[in-house]
Structures are given as structure tokens and as C-alpha cells.
A and B are shown apart, each in its own frame.
Chain A
């Protein structure tokens, strides 16, 4: 039986995260290069959208990631509330900025795709609006946490906000079905065959996996910073080799 509580100690977690970061970063780089090669050199021109559709290889992975990160962040927030473990709150805080970045990139690449295809940068339809709300949820979470001086209380307040905001995730995902939107429906879903060429799908999935690996690497980097900042008084921190040298 694995002793999960042992790994929830920052002292145990810090060196493990440090060893994992270069691996995640290397895998992310390899996958991104492969995905870009497939997306820009192997995938054929789209019959309707010409070469403009190639934005899909960025837009879909960053949009998926913006939602996944929120769910993972809310998961750690919930674990933190239930078990009152320090590391869970730090995990949630470490994910929020990266989630906000992917949400911004989703809106940015979406605007640059919308302009040539729809003739407009932005429209207040359900998909775009709910994604904008997601950005505000991330920013609200970060602002709330930074406004509270006591980090443990900041974690708890942030956790409640994160959990309430989860309701927005299915709204984003199903918005294209529930409402009549300018945004197209899902090209890839779990219940039916994807409505796109296999090679395009391969490129998109490679980029999506690269985004996962990037998120793993960058959020572990951030959680290690948070550990150093919050536990700077702890004896084990002063024994680290990066401090001693």
C-alpha cells in the first residue's frame, strides 16, 4: 500500500518533483516538434478553410487544456479542504496561472481564427462568453489568494471559489449543443468517430499531449517555488544542496 500522506509532505515531494521536471519538459518538446511537423507539413490543406484551418493545431489543444487545468485545480482544492494538507493548496495555486495563460491563448487563437473565417474577431456567443468567464474565474482565484495574507486561509478561500466555478466547465463544453452558436460543434468526441482526417487528428492529439506535458513541467516548477517561499523557515530547506552550494 502506498503511503499517500508521505508524498503529501513538501519535504518528500520537493526532490521528486525536481527529478520529474526535466523529463516532462523533454517529452513536451519532442511531442510539440512532432505535432508541429504533422500539422504544418503532413496534414493536407482543408477543403473549406484552406491553410487557415492550421490554427486548429494550437487552438484546440490550448482550449482543452484551459478546461482540464481548471478541473485538476478544483480537484486539488477539494482535497485540500477535505484533508487540510498544505501541498494540495499549493498544487491548486501552482496550476491557476498556467490555466489562465491557456485560457488567454484559447481566446487569442480563437480571435485570429474567427476573423478570417467568420469575418469578426469576437462575438458574444455562448462558447466564447463562457470561455471568457473561465479566464475571469482563474484571475479571480489568483486575486483572492493574493489578497489574503495568511496562506492557509488564502488556500481555503481560493478552494471554495475554485469549486463553485467548476459549474462553468460543462457549460463551456456543451455550449455548442445547448445554444445556437457561431462556434462550430466538436470535431472530436468520445461517443462518435471524429469528423476530420486521421492525419489532422494525429497532429492535434500530439499537440494536446505536448500541452499536458508542458503543464506538468511548468506547474511542478511553480509548486517548487511555492514550497521554497512558504517553507523557507523549515530545517530541511536549509539542508538542500541548492542552498548549501
Chain B
């Protein structure tokens, strides 16, 4: 398990970097975040102004090092400050309300996209020059399309022209979140278009990578031997071919997660989906710096945790990874 230990150490460094970057940004950026927040919101009480100043390192108390320790203390206790745009709500409360929406939507859509893309990649490689292979250029176009543009097209087609699906918000107005069927069904129908957007734009990448590795794998001698033995096509394709070709896709999962999440954030803005992406957008447009930074921190931790899980899955899938040292 030396591999997992090394990966764990790496993610500790990565999380430390994310927190440190977050600490440094307001201190090295030109302009005074507090002043812009104060000028925007006249109704802030002196205590809040003071708290903001301490948080962003203006009129600092103590050395930068003691501020840094204080900052870490706050992060560990999930004390991310007070939102200036939704004053006096705590940033952690806002994130707590929005994060489940994003985690559910992006999580389900990403896993579906990975599974569909990998499976399509296997078939495409097996039937090289077939229908799927010829469709690759179309998928490349999707890959090069901005998420939000595709989202606009889907809204135009399915929500405005055909009026099959609702769009905007996470559930119908007039419903309140709870465990009842009308709310859940409303939430599901509202999430179909966003999920399709994520899947459509990311499935091509998984498919392409799987196809390329699979092409190399199926030209190996042991595949030929397996076929010569008379094993069924399905067995050769999946147990002999895909089983070995999937490793780079799993390894790539950890690295591409950041891109998928980034796209999903922008997609949320188009759909006004009540997740962290839309909240980040609102925070930026209203200069709510504590909220912006809190969201970056939470997204980083979520992405890093998911990457770590993908790495552990990789260690189980590839015996070589467990013995090899890799950073």
C-alpha cells in the first residue's frame, strides 16, 4: 500500500496548496476587497467591517504567520466568514445549502458519462472504421463546444420550442424541498437538461481515450491467442481487451475531474441551477469575496477527494501501480 500512502501524502500537499492560495489571494491582489464590499453595501455594521478586514488581511493583527495560523484554524472549523451579499448568513450555511445540488447532479452525470464513453470506446476500437468511428469528428465538435453554448441550444430545442422539459432553477416554483414525490420528480425533470449537457460534452473525451488505448491493446498477441482458443467475442473484448485498456482511463479520471467540474459550474449559470456554480456567479457579480473564496475552497476539496478515490480505484485495478512509486 505504499502507492496509496504516497498518493495520500500528495493530496495532503494539494489541499495545503489550495488553502494557502486561498489565504494569499486577497493579500497579494491589487485593490481593497473590503473597501469595495463596504462601498457596495452601506448597511454593514462596524463589527462586520472589522471582521472582514481581519479576514482579508487589512490592518492586520500580528505577523502574517499568525494570521496564517488563524486562517487555518478557521478553515478547520469550517468558519469561512460571513457573506456580504446575503448578509448576515454564514458562507458555510450557503455552501451547505447549494453543495448537495451540485454534488448530486455533477456526480451522477460524470459517472454516467465515464461509463457510456468507456463502453462506446471499446466498441469503436473493436469495429474500427465502423459507424461509431466515422461519428468521431461529430463528437470532437461537441468536445470543442463550450458547455454553456450547448446548454443554450438544448434549452432552445427542448424547453422553449418543444416545451418538453422545464429549465431554470432546480425545482418548480411553489414547491418546498423535502422528501415527497412532487418535489423529487420536479427536481429530476429539472436536472435532465443540465445532466445531458454534461454528458454530451464530456463523453467524447472518455470515448476517444478508451478507443486509442484499446486499439493498441487489441493488436497484442494474447488477444489473438484468446480468439484462436475460441473464446467468445464478448469475453475477449471485455475480459481480455477492455480490462487492460481501461487503466489509463481510470488514471485520467482523477485529472479530468477538474475540467468536468469547471464546465458544470458554467452550465449551472445558464440553467440558474441552485448549485455552487450559480452561487459562485452570484458572488462574483456582487463582489462577495468571502463567498467566492469559500466556494473555491469547497470545490477544491471536493475535486481532490474524488481524485483520491479514483487513484485508490486505480491502485486496485492495476497491480503494477501498487509496487511502482508514482507522484
* Chains A and B form a bound pair: no
Q: Which residues of B contact A (CB under 8 A)?
A: none
Q: Which residues of A contact B (CB under 8 A)?
A: none
